[in-house]
């Protein structure tokens, strides 16, 4: 199909099917198979937005007039893109931000294409700035695609606690990053209401349903405000106590304060730091504590300890060959 597109772009006059058959490699030998393959490729190119024109070819050796095909470059090519040095610096930073996320490949290819077209990046302007956007959730990319295509999605979703995942069918409006977590905002068809879903709680595959363009985003909807309001509604003003090994848990330390009532303020008898952490979402805090493995132990409340143990047990369950990692197993024993 790419060879066909190149041939249609390279010609100055319409080419007949027989001329294309002779110049485009890869087509079947028999007439019937070639006709089917050519019509299929031509239709797919048109569905992709390629403006294939038809015209009459005079003086054909087989027929007096025969249909020919071509693609005019001026109708197909994008206009020349130009950016100021400041704009290119912003684009370079955006591409760097996605280096460790699901869109890393697309961001890198986009930047490479801009550079190939002659756009220059001032390395001095972006020196020392290394932003990162993490998007490790498996649901991230299929949900971003569904938002782009305006398609309904279906997935299993685990709410707080130990309940079984529930099936949700959602009209997606947008994917939002909020306080280091990714959320989907959309209309939950089963509940007939606006809902916010944390991507880390999506279980299994995300399935797109129906035709593209079926979802309409309400005019004036503020996605970040929806996420913020749901987070505030769930906030119970909780306070947790966590043990941290010295030199670990920098993210938690920045939002913590020394925990009172210990032999040493902020220390326990083993020399670990004991910190009090205000939280608005217990499950999010459990993710952070469990992610530190043997370097963090949840002490209070009991719900937090149970959530951390649940995550550590799940990590052990999926270890390759059932091999138990001693450090994490020890941490689980401490948590329990």
For residue 266, what pLDDT is reported? 62
For residue 245, what pLDDT is reported? 87
> Average pLDDT, stretch 133-142?
78
Beta carbons of 274 and 259 less than 8 angstroms apart:
yes
- CB-based contacts of 164, cutoff 8 Å, min separation 6: 158
Q: Which residue has the higher pLDDT, 266 or 222?
A: 222
Q: Which residue has the higher pLDDT, 64 or 279?
A: 279
SS (H, E, C) 1-38: CHHHHHHHHHCCCCECHHHHHHHCCCCCCCHHHHHHHH
For residue 264, what pLDDT is reported? 37
Give the helix/strand (H/E) hosting 240: strand 238-244
Give span(s): CATH 2.30.30, the chain.
140-234
Give span(s): CATH 1.10.10, the chain.
2-76
Tell which CATH architecture fits domain 140-234. Answer: Roll (2.30)
- Asked whether the predicted pLDDT for residue 209 surpasses 50, the reply is yes
User: Would you give the DSSP letter of residue 80?
Assistant: P
CATH number of 2-76: 1.10.10
pTM summary value: 0.48
């Amino acid at each position: 199909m790419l060879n066909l597109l190149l041939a249609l772009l390279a010609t100055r006059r319409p080419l007949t099917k027989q001329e294309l058959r002779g110049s485009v490699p890869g087509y079947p030998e028999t007439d019937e198979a070639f006709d089917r393959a050519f019509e299929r490729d031509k239709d797919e190119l048109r569905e992709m937005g390629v403006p294939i024109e038809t015209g009459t070819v005079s003086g054909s050796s087989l027929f007096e007039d025969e249909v020919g095909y071509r693609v005019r470059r001026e109708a197909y090519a994008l206009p020349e893109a130009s950016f100021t040095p400041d704009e290119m610096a912003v684009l370079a930073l955006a591409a760097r931000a996605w280096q460790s996320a699901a869109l890393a490949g697309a961001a890198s290819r986009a930047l490479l294409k801009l550079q190939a077209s002659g756009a220059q990046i001032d390395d001095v302007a972006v020196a020392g700035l290394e932003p990162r956007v993490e998007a490790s959730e498996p649901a991230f990319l299929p949900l971003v695609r569904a938002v782009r295509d305006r398609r309904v999605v279906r997935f299993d979703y685990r709410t707080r606690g130990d309940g079984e995942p529930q099936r949700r069918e959602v009209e997606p409006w947008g994917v939002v990053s909020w306080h280091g977590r990714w959320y989907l905002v959309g209309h939950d068809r089963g509940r007939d209401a606006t809902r916010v879903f944390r991507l880390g709680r999506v279980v299994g595959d995300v399935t797109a349903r129906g035709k593209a363009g079926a979802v309409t985003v309400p005019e004036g909807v503020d996605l970040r405000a929806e996420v913020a309001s749901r987070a505030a509604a769930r906030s119970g003003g909780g306070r947790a106590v966590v043990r941290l090994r010295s030199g670990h848990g920098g993210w938690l330390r920045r939002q913590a304060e020394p925990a009172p009532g210990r032999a040493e303020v902020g220390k326990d008898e083993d020399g670990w730091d004991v910190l009090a952490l205000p939280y608005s979402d217990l499950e999010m805090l459990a993710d952070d504590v469990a992610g530190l493995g043997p370097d963090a132990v949840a002490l209070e409340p009991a719900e937090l300890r149970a959530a951390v143990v649940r995550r550590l047990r799940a990590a052990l369950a999926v270890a390759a060959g059932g091999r138990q990692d001693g450090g994490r197993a020890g941490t689980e024993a401490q948590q329990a």
